[in-house]
Structure formats: C-alpha cells, structure tokens
Amino acid sequence: MLTTFQEDDYIEFKFSSEIKMVNKIIKEVRSYLENYEIEEDGNIILILRELINNAIEHGNKKEKDRVVSVCLLLLDDKRFKIVVADEGDGFDYNSINYRMSDDPTQIRKRGLCLVNSFADEIEFNQTGNRITVYVTANETTQFHVEDINDVTVVQPSGDITSEDADPFRYVIHDCLEKGKTKFRFDLTHVNDIDSIGLSLFVIFSNLAQKKFSNIGFEIINANQDIINLFQMTRLNRIYTII
C-alpha cells in the first residue's frame, strides 16, 4: 500500500511496513528534489532512508498492516523539514546515545547516530513514535549503489574524505550484510581520497575476505593520483585496477 500527496513545497507518503517500500519512497523523493535543482542530496537521502528503516523495523516491527507516514517540506532555499511517524508504541528517546561507535565493524545502532551527524536539528513527539528532522541540502558525497549482473557497483558522487566516512562505512557494511561478494568501485567523480577514506577500503577488504571466500574487488575510472595511492599502499594487490 502506498499513497502520495504532493504540492509545490510539500510531499507526503503513507505506506505499509514493508522494506521493499523504502527504495520506492527514495526514488519519489529524488524526483521531488530535482524540482529545486538539488543534485547533491546525499545527506537528505541518508537521513530519510535511516528514519524509514527504523520506523518499519523498530517502530512497526515489520507488521504490514501498520502504516508509516513520511512528509518532506521545503522551508527555505535548500532547508527541509522531514517528519516520519509509525504506529508503534514509541520509545524513550531521552536515552539515545548519539556517539558513533569507535568500532568500525559495528553497523547496528548507527542509524540515529548518522541522522544526528547530518541533521541541523532533531525533535521527537512525547510518545517517541514520530521524529522531526531539519536538514539543509549540501554537497556531502553520496554513494550510488547498483547491481549490474552479479557485480555491485558503488559510485561516489565526490571525494572520499573523513567528512564522508560514516555514509561510506554504512554503504559497504550494508552490502556485506546483504551477501554481496563482487564489488566494483567507480571513481569517475572522485578526485581525492584522504587517509580515513583509504582506511575504509582496507577495513572493507579485510571484513569481506573474512566473511566470504569468493570475494572480488575492482576499481574503475580512477585518476592517476588515486591509482598511485593504491599502488603505494599495496592496495592494488587486493583491488584490481581497471
């Protein structure tokens, strides 16, 4: 079940608590954001995806007859108000620890930490089953993930630096949790990778190789500086550069 209502500065969705609905909503929101010439919508999409996943999984306990409500409202220029509500019992939001885990392999319980990192402001209703997030669109690098045949292609929209570490970490761990084993990183839009970004490639390869025996990594469309970086750090022995 999915219903949509849209006006010039407002779009709203109501849908059943099914994980398959998440990408449908994200696709609709991306189209909506194009009306405002927002190309770099990574922080908005990351926040929205986390909130919807939480509402379905933790709020409504994946009960399909329970509804999730989402609305996105343009406030001014590129600042938006996102409201996500579920029909669950809520929770004690005062107990939330927004500190990101120091363990890079820990993917669980990172959702609201990531939201807090990219949001301007967060509010809850008294029950804790509705969250309101204020966020300003910016040029944070986003990571487009697409399965082509049996290969998962990850394409960053910009540089991979410490500022973008958490979204990148989330993407690669999510791929592993879904059982992906063949990866191609398309670095067409990447001009620079700092030490933190590089460390994530190392961590990712280590985790993947421990989890799967038939793992494969490729780097495509990298500039010469990045190729040199992978060669100097011997990462070209793990990632095949094409």
Whole-number mean pLDDT of the chain? 86
Stretch 131-157: mean pLDDT: 85
Q: Phi/psi class of residue 45: alpha, beta or left (left: φ > 0; alpha: ψ in -120 to 50)? A: alpha
Q: Where are the domains of the chain?
A: 2-136, 143-241
Listed in order, strand segments (DSSP E) in the chain are: 2-7, 10-16, 67-76, 79-85, 121-124, 130-136, 143-148, 151-156, 182-186, 216-220, 240-241
For residue 74, pLDDT over 70 is answered with yes
CATH architecture of 2-136: 2-Layer Sandwich (3.30)
* pLDDT interval class at 134 (50, 70, 90): very high
Which 3 state secondary structure label does DSSP give 50?
Answer: helix
Which amino acid type is present at position 137?
A
The class (CATH top level) of 143-241 is: alpha beta
HSE at residue 76, side-chain half, CA atoms within 13 A, is 0
pLDDT at 95 over 50: yes
What would the mean pLDDT of 223-230 be, rounded to a whole number? 92
3-class SS at 146?
A: strand
Judge whether residue 105 has pLDDT over 50: no
